[in-house]
Chains A and B, each alone.
Chain A
Amino acid sequence: MKRGLIQTSLRTSLIMLAFVLLATTLLALTYDRTHDLISKSEAEEKLSLINQVFPPGMSDNDLIHDTVEIPPSELLGNSKPVTAYRARFHGKPVAVMIEATAPDGYAGRITLLIGILASGEISGVRVISQNETPGLGDYIEIAKSDWIKGFDHASLGSVTDAAWHVRKDGGQFDYMTGATITPRAVVKAVHKALLYFSANKAMLFAQGKEK
């Protein structure tokens, strides 16, 4: 009787093991076959987002791999290190693409990708992720409206500190009636990102981390 029990358990666990091995093999094979394609798609996706905030053709380096890790900063609103991408032309800094987080959106964080030219001028801003109310606060998405393009060419020099607000608060940026919290958060985040840029420009373009 006891032997029978042991035999049954052994048989059962061997069968289970066989299935686990089979499943693992299949998964490993699939992973192997799709891995390159997936990382290619991911890189393309990253590049297409970067190209929206920084027009292609102005740089000659490998943007995706010329990166710098930015430690947590109050101005960027990141609690974990984020990656910034650098654009160079003949080795000279052209622009940097920084991720910034607006912590005070209507429904939580709004993550932005901000392209800043070496001159301190914004080349473009796009929303990476947001949970704002669909149809109300989501006009910050380029797919819904051109609002986000209002930041193009703005800089600390061209827009005074007092003007870095939505019109309702006495600033120069548009907003849509009924949804002011969202644009207010975005304007603030972009402004702070520019402040961060002007304070850390040397670090952002520092050579050496290029892989």
Chain B
Amino acid sequence: MNEYIEIAKNGLWKQNTGVVQLLGMCPLLAVSSSVVNGVSLGLATLLVMALSNLAVSLIRNLVPGEIRIPVFILIIASLVTIIQLVMKAYLHSLYLVLGIFVPLIVTNCIVLARTEAFASKQKTLPSVFDGFMMGMGLTLVLALLGGMREIFGKGTLFSGIDLVFGDSAKSFVITVFPHYHGFLLAILPPGAFIGLGLLIALKNRLDARAARAQIPAPSLQSA
């Protein structure tokens, strides 16, 4: 059980894809202009990571070392293409918004990194859980970053949610600042960098505070 808690901690916090490993920055920065976009791509990546970890872990003893990377890439690329086709069929308008970034999940190095570093050496269940948690960590960062950029850039939250749940979901859009004229910087790429920087700073601060809270007792005695 401890193993799973450790995996969850790694994925969500310690080894978070978005703010610690900083892998897969291209989709992270490009798609996080709104909560809906960010979470959608995050969930698609999560699905790819969980499934590719599952597949790689299942076949880990069948694949000779020399061809493991091509086989992993083959698996990831097939999974992404399948998800892309399914999305195109059932969530067409969302697919149009995310566009090229769905197929680009293949090139997101975090997916291959997890299959190689984790799934190729571990049992099936922990592998799936690892993919899920790593994807979850990424999704959370995308959601936060998307939320920040959307609130400051457009003054709304959950805009575009009708692309996922149909026109009836239009009423879910929250207008945080009515009559807001928008803050362009937040929507454009620099806003993504600034937002991500702030998130990383926040995480480091929280970590530093936690570390300080643990250490003081012995350090006081020695002083």
Residues of chain A whose beta carbon lies under 8 Å from any beta carbon of chain B? 8, 11-12, 15-16, 19-20, 23, 26-27, 30-31, 34, 37-38, 41-42, 44-45, 133-136
B62 contacts A by Cβ under 8 Å: yes
Beyond the given pairs A38-B88, A135-B187, 9 more chain A to chain B contacts, judged by CB atoms under 8 angstroms and listed by A's residue number, are A12-B64, A15-B64, A19-B63, A23-B75, A30-B86, A37-B90, A38-B92, A45-B92, A135-B182
Q: Verify A41–B184 contact, CB threshold 8 A.
A: no
B206 contacts A by Cβ under 8 Å: no
Contacting residues, chain B, for A26 (C-beta < 8 A): 78, 82
Helix, strand, loop or mixed for chain A's interface? helix
Within 8 A of A (CB), among B138-197: 181-182, 184, 187-188
Tell me the minimal C-beta distance from A128 to chain B in angstroms: 12
The number of A-B residue pairs with CB atoms under 8 Å apart is: 61
Contacting residues, chain B, for A27 (C-beta < 8 A): 78, 81-82
Within 8 A of A (CB), among B67-108: 67, 70-71, 74-75, 77-78, 81-82, 85-86, 88-90, 92-93, 96
The number of chain B residues touching the other chain, given as a range, is 20 to 34
Q: Verify B66–A12 contact, CB threshold 8 A.
A: yes
Helix, strand, loop or mixed for chain B's interface? helix
Q: Verify B89–A134 contact, CB threshold 8 A.
A: no
Tell me the minimal C-beta distance from B116 to chain A in angstroms: 16
Contacting residues, chain B, for A8 (C-beta < 8 A): 64
Q: Which of B77, B85, B184, B188 contacts A30 (CB 8 A)?
A: B85
Q: Verify B78–A37 contact, CB threshold 8 A.
A: no
Q: Verify B74–A34 contact, CB threshold 8 A.
A: no
Within 8 A of A (CB), among B49-67: 59, 62-64, 66-67
